[in-house]
Amino acid sequence: MPNSLDLDKLSDFVEEWWDKSALPSLCEFVEIPALSPSFDSDWEANGYLDAAVNTFVAWTRSLPLKGLTVSVHRLKNRSPLLLVKIEGDEDGEVVFYSHLDKQPEASGWSEGKGPWKPVIEDGWLFGRGSVDDGYGGYAGILSVLALQDQGVSHPTCRFLIETGEESGSPDLSYYLDELESVLGTPDLVIVLDTGGIDYDRLWVTESLRGIVAGTLSVKVSSVGVHSGHGSGVMPSSFRLARKLLSRIEDENTGEIKPEWLHIEITDKMKEQATKIIEMNSESTEDFPLLDGVEKQVNDPLDIFLTMNLSPSLSIIGADGIPSIQDAGNVLRTNTDLKISIRTPPGISAEEVAVKVQELLEKDPPNGAHVSAVMTEVADGFLSPELPEELSEMLEKAGKQFYGNSPMSLFIGGTIPVMAMLQSRYPDSKFIITGAGGPGGNAHGPDEKLHIPTAKKVTKCMAAAVSVAIR
């Protein structure tokens, strides 16, 4: 079979099939209130996740795909997982990942729009799950169909489509264990669940921060004591908690102290960050600070690197502290703080969790009873360098379909599934991209998919798969 891909013909094909096939089915998907299990305790009885899967399966089977097999997997008490296989005619394997579960409805939708009401307007598809992440499976499947249309050879492509991502993918690892022999070791993993800071180019996510979160508990007494009697003698649990946190964070600058929480920021990272800032200065300016409140860092490059590649500590909750209205002159027995540490890409979150616990619990000040239990631990993601031919094809396709070269993107948040996939397939290459962008409002009111970008992503992924294994 020929390996030469006609990009113009590819573009026409994708435009046609998105309009006549993918988009009508995606609208049907939007109508289904397929809430992720965390938001629908009766998800199994309600059947909406199954309905979303069935809608996608029906669409997939309607396509003239060669070598297609479809299987729905249902482990007991776990959300369903869809596995689609398109047999290839050359060696190697590509795995596409996406998800069909959704966030809750949210309030504040514009007039005439709603979470379960698909509306196409000015090149956008409104509705919950449109951009996060219903379109992902459609884009991936059509990218392979477009290659078959031209008789271009491709590796075997598998589509791993889960229904629990919005709940933190608690079931995915069980399915990966169950399907280990089926999935094998992919050469390339494509994740269509992110986006970029504009719609003018293909944005490829290069890194994500990880997270280590849990509770720091400092207890000093068994019962509350009148402050007129015990203050100045009995140690303050709040002061001791503050002192313990200073082991991690400089209270004057906000800098993170332990060296093991930092990575080297390379010149290449700085160069890429500078390009992003030049394209979109708002990426380092859009903070809702009150008048007179100063940032901890001010240089745009420092802001960008701090947001996306540096560790940080946040206190996001507290117990043991009464409200102001309920507070009496009583010394509190304890202070419990929910702490959240963002870890740079490439650092083991498990190791950080152990070290943080040791750091906070050792040598407690004033002999206080201290515990630091980390309950949320997820690695970040650092993309391996792509093969030269694949990088060149992405460059060519990006210029052809977007009019601009692709750009790398750093993201300060965490996508747990990425760490899970990378740990499973440490030798695989990754392309993390998608159609998300400004105004997409994923998780919020007026969530919407930019249809032209979804088509461009499809075209670029077809081009990538055509050279993925060479």
Domain extent for 252: 210-262+311-378
Query: In this structure, are 371 and 240 located in the same domain?
Result: yes
Rounded to 5°, angle at Cα 342 from 102 and 349: 90
Residue 288 lies in a domain: no
Same domain, 201 and 120: yes
Decide if 286 is inside a domain: no
**Cβ neighbours of 207 (radius 10 Å):** 23
- Does some domain include residue 41? yes
Look up residue 425 and give its amino acid. Y
pLDDT by position in tens, the chain (length 470): 446 899 999 999 999 999 999 999 999 999 999 999 999 999 999 999 999 999 999 999 999 999 999 999 999 999 999 999 999 999 999 999 999 999 999 999 999 999 999 999 999 999 999 999 999 999 999 999 999 999 999 999 999 999 999 998 999 999 999 999 999 899 999 999 999 999 999 999 999 999 999 999 999 999 999 999 999 999 999 999 999 999 999 999 999 999 999 999 999 999 999 999 998 877 788 899 999 999 999 999 999 999 999 999 999 999 999 999 999 999 999 999 999 999 999 999 999 999 999 999 999 999 999 999 999 999 999 999 999 999 999 999 999 999 999 999 999 998 889 989 999 999 999 999 999 999 999 999 999 999 999 999 999 999 999 999 87
Helix/strand/coil (H, E, C) string of 17-56?
A: HHHHHHHHHHHHHHCCCCECHHHCCCHHHHCHHHHHHHHH
Q: In the listed set 348, 363, 378, which residue is the last one of a domain according to the structure?
A: 378
> Could you tell me the CATH number of the domain that includes residue 442?
3.40.630.10
Q: Are residues 340 and 408 in the same domain?
A: no
Number of domains within the chain: 2
Domain holding 369: CATH number? Answer: 3.30.70.360
- Look at residue 28 and tell me if it is in a domain: yes
Is 2 within a domain? no
> Looking at the structure, do residues 103 and 179 belong to the same domain, yes or no?
yes
Please state the pTM of the whole predicted model: 0.90
Whether residue 202 is found in the same domain as residue 216: no
Decide if 92 is inside a domain.
yes
